[in-house]
Every structure is written in structure tokens, then in C-alpha cells.
Amino acid sequence: MTAAGVTTTSPYQFKPRPYSSHVLLLKEFPSRGEGRRVLDVGCAEGYLAEILAARGFSVTGVDLPGTPHPDSIEFAGANLDSGLPAFQESFEFILCADVLEHVRDPLLLLRQCHQLLTPGGALIASLPNSGHAYFRANVMLGRFPRHDRGLFDRTHLHFYMWEGWASLLADAGFRMEALRVSGVPMGLALPQWEGSAGVAALEWLTFQLARTWKSLFAYQFIVRARAERVE
């Protein structure tokens, strides 16, 4: 997906597959935005932000200065390794899609998100599962590949299983409210068969496995967490 008027350069693109993390993330938002404020942290070129803006949300995206973005959202340039920029407003929703594993201090970033949420506001995030069977098998065999994306993305700085992500969210003051899981995006792994019935069947199967045994077969965790009051 290319945002309106934006030339896409990022390797991270919108994934429209029915069991993808992006589709599941969007399901966590109301179908009608009605002007509610969303902060999209690490928005890239705004592929999710643009969809939310079209639903009627007021969206602010944050990413590196100079990142292309659609005209339908506000944009703030910042290096997330140094934290979020100062905002004068709070947000009903904060979206962290495929971003926490990339920053040096995800706990600091989550605590800043907590401070920016309205009372009862929700953090919605996708988190890679380093406990996935594929990840475990590689490590057991003495391998730790460096890929352009996926569980072994070369730009990942943190590798957590579910317990690690849950502890991180709790330490930042969040209470888990909902958990979904995504299956393996087989179309990306097997691009030569993208769109085939076989790939669709494999994606359905990996999604069912992920729902049955989350810790071992979830490709990503999709969470909705509420900001608990900090005394």
C-alpha cells in the first residue's frame, strides 16, 4: 500500500492478509473514529495511520525526521531511541506497530506512552514472538540468521517471548485487556506462490496453530492494554 502522494521506500509495508498483524491491529480500533486522537509511534510512511484517518480518527504519526507521510495525518519527526517528542495533548489510543523491538529502551518509550494516554486510554501494539517454533529451531541448531524482516529482522534489538513482553508492559504501568495472535505470513516467505490457494491454506493453518498454542506458534502478539493509574 502506498499512502496518497507518498513514495514508499520502507521495507515495512501494509500487510492486508486476513491473519496478518496489521489487519488484527486495525480490528482493535472502533470502526468509527469520531475525532478520537491516535498517536502512531513509528508510523513509517503512514500505511496504518492513513486507514485510521479515513475512519475518522485524528492521527498524529511519529517517525524519523523527513519520513514521507500522507497529508491526512499530523506528523512529528523524532528519533525514538531518544524518546517521544513533547506533545501538548493526550491521546485516546497509542499504536505501536512493529516498533518496540527496534528501539534501544522500549520500557522508556512505553512509560512515555503511558503518560500521553487519556485516563482509560488504550495502547495497541504488535510484538514479535521469539518463542516461535521457527525461532527456537534455529537457535537450537546454533543459527541466528540476519534477515531483512521477520523474526530474525537484522534491525531488531530485543527478542522476547510472551512472558518478556507481558512483564515489560506491566513494568510500564499497563494492564492487559485483550490478546490476539497472528500466523506466519507465508506469502512473504514464499513470494513465488503469493496469492495461491496453497499459500492461503498454509496461512490459515499457521493461524489456527497460533490460536491453539500461542507461546510456540504465534508469529506476533497483538495486544490491547489499558494505562493503569500510577500512584
**What's 130's domain CATH number?**
3.40.50.150
CA 221-226-229 angle, to 5 degrees, is 140
**4 inside domain:** no
- Predicted confidence (pLDDT) per residue in 96-147, tens digit: 999 999 999 999 999 999 999 999 899 999 999 999 999 999 999 999 999 9
**200 inside domain:** yes
**Local confidence band at 20 (pLDDT 50, 70, 90 cut-offs):** confident
* Whole-angstrom distance, CA of residue 173 vs CA of residue 111: 7
**Local confidence band at 200 (pLDDT 50, 70, 90 cut-offs):** confident
Dihedral angle over CA of 158, 164, 165, 167, nearest 10: -130
The one-letter amino acid at 108: L
**9 inside domain:** no
Which is higher by pLDDT, 50 or 9?
50
Share of the chain above pLDDT 70, in %: 88
Which is higher by pLDDT, 24 or 2?
24
Q: How confident is the model over 16-27, as a mean pLDDT? A: 86
Please give the C-alpha separations between residue 73 and each of 46, 52, 214, in angstroms, as whole numbers: 8, 9, 34
- Predicted confidence (pLDDT) per residue in 42-78, tens digit: 999 999 999 999 999 999 999 999 988 899 999 999 9
Q: Supply the pLDDT for residue 15.
A: 65
The one-letter amino acid at 83: G
Q: Supply the pLDDT for residue 1.
A: 32
**Number of domains comprising the chain:** 1
| The three three-digit cell numbers of residue 57, written as one number | 480518527
**134 inside domain:** yes
Q: Supply the pLDDT for residue 197.
A: 84
Burial 183-195 (b: 16+ CB within 10 A, else e): bbbbbeeeeeeee
**3 inside domain:** no
**169 inside domain:** yes
Q: Supply the pLDDT for residue 6.
A: 41
Range of the domain at 150: 21-227
**13 inside domain:** no
**15 inside domain:** no
- Predicted confidence (pLDDT) per residue in 177-196, tens digit: 999 999 988 766 666 666 67
